[in-house]
Amino acid sequence: MSAAVIERGTAASRIAGIGVAAIIVLLAIAPQFLSAGAVDRMTALFIYVILAAMWNALAGFGGLVSVGQQVFFGLGAYFTIRLANAGLNPFVSLFVSAVIVGAVSWPISLFMLRLKNGEFAIGLWVIAALTHLLVNLDRLIQGETGTSLISLNVYDASTRRLTIYWLALASMTALLAVLFRLLRGSTGAAIRAIRDNEDAAASVGVRVTGTKRLLFVLAAFGIGVAGALWLATAITFQPKTYFSVQWTAYMIFMVLVGGIGTFEGAILGALLFFLIETWFGGTGVWYLIGLGATALVFSLLLPRGLWGTLEERFGWRLLSVGYRVKLPTGTSNPTGEIASPQTTNSREKA
Amino acid sequence: MSNQIVQGILLGGYYALIACGLSFMFSVMRIINLAHGSLAVLSAFALWLLASRFHISPFFGLLIVLPLMAVIGWALQRFLLERSARGGALLPILTTFGLAIVIDNVLFEQFGADTRSLAPFIGSLSYDSWEWPGGIYVGKLAVIIFVAAVVLLGGLQLSLTRTGLGRSIRATSEDSDTAGLVGVDARRANAIAAAIAMVTVGLAGAFLGMRATFDPYAGATQLLFAFEAAVIGGAGSLWGTLVGGIVLALAQTLGAKVHPQGFLIGGHVAFLIVLFIRLYTSGLGLRGLLRLSAEKAP
């Protein structure tokens, strides 16, 4: 009796695991070979990957589409300014700030997670708009004029650039690792059950609200880190730029194009967004029109995104967070529980 | 103070007007259209273009723009929403958000960053006012907007309950499959509902342009106003939307009295308070809400 084999990773995914480790090592030593401008761009890329992965965690895995995630981006930067102003080391402030953002997101989640779909999406946008207005009232920020992370000036430019680069790389790696562990563990099974059918998941004992809250707080924390890092690279803090809905538009674009609900898709989307920005960012308005139109077209024609489509067609698994049932070829399935290997494969996503 | 209350109520008429299309579409198709505000601004720009380029008064311009908005609504439903709604409840949010970005930036590309207004094209109406007893001056335009909102909401409510078309739209919103069984063309009903919603959006855009200024990126704010008024009013009744609009406007008026920058804050806070009360009274209570999150999550 040749039984079906349940495997976690494929040979490809084991190679991919080694590849990822190699890439991270390469990225860590890369600044030695890169120009100052390139180091700054790479830092931006790491921040994009964080944003995409966090929005994907929320929308792709938690089924929570938010258009108000800029609130956590802005707060990450704002709390950094506040902490640094209070005398804390600016680099330490970045992470303390993100922890505060995560803590703030918890009471927000109590409230917002009771809203459904579109109501949740715009509800968070209202929170973002309100938070923006309240931050403007802070004397230190001077309304829309903004302020700067002055305390970073004690470090010379190249130390600052390299430290931020490594911090961004480390944050990205750590956040992706946490997300990966989370999705592979028992919480991951719950998360995917919720994504596929919330009511059915609840009926078999999945803690729907608790799991969603976990994703919400993780996403808020990660986006807070991204906002703080962005402040560290840009130095100036203008509320309007940080609390702009444009950040959420970028996140949606990256995840939608890369592949919503797939771990690799968000990373691919961030890479593509980074390249598009590098090549077309200078065209201003048309660049933004293009981003909006691409998101629109993908949502209509290719809702699973590039990675989701490729994965389905070729059965690729690189950073596998799910399980795959491999049936012995040529034998009929006696139990009849699983219709065909094809269906099984396509059903196992994430 | 009574003066401010009167002004607040009249402003509420505008909010009800912009909210009714949003809540109408939500109640029929279960879709929240994130391009709602941007489409209102699009209508305002169309009227501005007609007025400044072809010297067509905005009121006559509506005769051109409103049918155009109806066509846009029909096309929106047929080509975008219908398709993306098949992919689940989340996809239309992304589709309409992408659409909003496209509309905003195309408007910016065409018209630049300048703020515009339709006020110069409607003569003395933009500043004329009546004196009411008690020394209260009310703007004629504000009264016209309020009356238009009441007429529109009443007309919509009547046509939904009394006409065959209204019945088929309501049947589709209840259960489109069953409606199809008894001979209602659900696709047609949805497309007509979207067209009607866009006509109300077009009208709201016109009044936005007449009573205030607008720029290519003004859509997001209008969307938030519409959403807040609709949620405060509660789904179900179009008259609730009017109440929601008035509550929102009064909260903003109160906010502006408390702090010079408090206008928008007041509105947002009122929205959150209403939301909170609604969760509180839905049988959970604050302690229930917290306990639910800690241990008893479903």
What distance in Å separates the CA atoms of residue A173 and residue A302, rounded to the nearest whole number? Answer: 28
- Supply the pLDDT for residue A5: 67
Residue A119: pLDDT band with limits 50, 70, 90? confident
Find out whether B70 and B191 touch, Cβ atoms under 8 Å.
Answer: no
Residue B88: pLDDT band with limits 50, 70, 90? confident
Averaged pLDDT score across all residues of chain B:
87
- Supply the pLDDT for residue A116: 79
Half-sphere exposure of A294 (CA within 13 A, CB side): 22
Residue A323: pLDDT band with limits 50, 70, 90? low
Least confident of A265-269, B42-46, B121-125, B229-233: B121-125
- pLDDT tens, A61-97? 888 889 999 999 999 999 999 999 998 899 999 999 9
Counting residues of chain A whose pLDDT is more than 90, the rounded percentage is 43
Q: Is the pLDDT of residue A51 over 70?
A: yes
- Put simply, whether B289 touches A (Cβ < 8 Å) is yes
Chain B residue with CA closest to A200: the answer is B298
Mean pLDDT to the nearest integer, A139-160: 85
Counting residues of chain A whose pLDDT is more than 70, the rounded percentage is 87
Averaged pLDDT score across all residues of chain A:
85
Residue A308 DSSP SS3? helix
| C-alpha dihedral (A198, A200, A206, A210), degrees to nearest 10 | 20
Distances in Å between the alpha carbon of A332 and those of A321, A335, A342?
28, 9, 14
Q: Do B93 and A67 touch (CB under 8 A)?
A: yes
Q: Is the pLDDT of residue A332 over 50?
A: no
Q: Do B32 and A119 touch (CB under 8 A)?
A: yes
- Supply the pLDDT for residue A320: 65
Residue A34 DSSP SS3? coil
- Put simply, whether B268 touches A (Cβ < 8 Å) is yes
- Supply the pLDDT for residue B287: 42
- Supply the pLDDT for residue A168: 95
- Supply the pLDDT for residue A2: 56
Report, in angstroms and rounded to the nearest whole number, the Rg of chain B calculated over CA atoms: 20
pTM: 0.87
The burial of A311, by beta-carbon neighbours within 10 Å (0-12 exposed, 13-18 middle, 19 or more buried), is given as: buried
- Put simply, whether B280 touches A (Cβ < 8 Å) is no
Compare CB distances from B261 to A59, A121, A136 and report the shortest one's residue: A136
Mean pLDDT to the nearest integer, A151-156: 85
The burial of A1, by beta-carbon neighbours within 10 Å (0-12 exposed, 13-18 middle, 19 or more buried), is given as: exposed
DSSP of B192-215:
HHHHHHHHHHHHHHHHHHHHSEE-
Question: What residues have CB less than 8 Å from B187, skipping those under 6 apart?
Answer: B78, B82
- Supply the pLDDT for residue B132: 79
Q: Is the pLDDT of residue B212 over 50?
A: yes
Q: Is the pLDDT of residue A325 over 60?
A: yes
- Put simply, whether B271 touches A (Cβ < 8 Å) is yes
Mean pLDDT to the nearest integer, A118-142: 90
Question: What residues have CB less than 8 Å from B275, skipping those under 6 apart?
Answer: A111, A115, A123, B231
What distance in Å separates the CA atoms of residue B99 and residue B103, rounded to the nearest whole number? Answer: 6
- pLDDT tens, B106-156? 999 999 989 999 988 888 887 888 887 777 888 889 999 999 999 999 998
What distance in Å separates the CA atoms of residue B78 and residue A298, rounded to the nearest whole number? Answer: 17
Chain B residues whose beta carbon lies within 8 Å of the beta carbon of residue A300: 80, 83-84, 95
What are the strands, taking DSSP E only, across A204-310?
236-237
Find out whether B149 and B226 touch, Cβ atoms under 8 Å.
Answer: no
- pLDDT tens, B168-178? 888 888 887 88
Residues 112-171 of B with CB under 8 A from A: none
- Supply the pLDDT for residue A337: 40
Chain B residues whose beta carbon lies within 8 Å of the beta carbon of residue A119: 32, 231
- pLDDT tens, A202-259? 888 888 888 889 999 999 999 999 999 999 999 899 999 999 999 999 999 999 999 8
Question: What residues have CB less than 8 Å from B32, skipping those under 6 apart?
Answer: A117, A118, A119, A121, A122, B22, B25, B26, B92, B93, B96, B227
Q: Is the pLDDT of residue A328 over 80?
A: no
Taking the CB of residue A320, how many other CB atoms lie within 10 A of it? 24
Q: Do A202 and B298 touch (CB under 8 A)?
A: yes
- Supply the pLDDT for residue A336: 39
Compare CB distances from B93 to A65, A110, A202 and report the shortest one's residue: A65
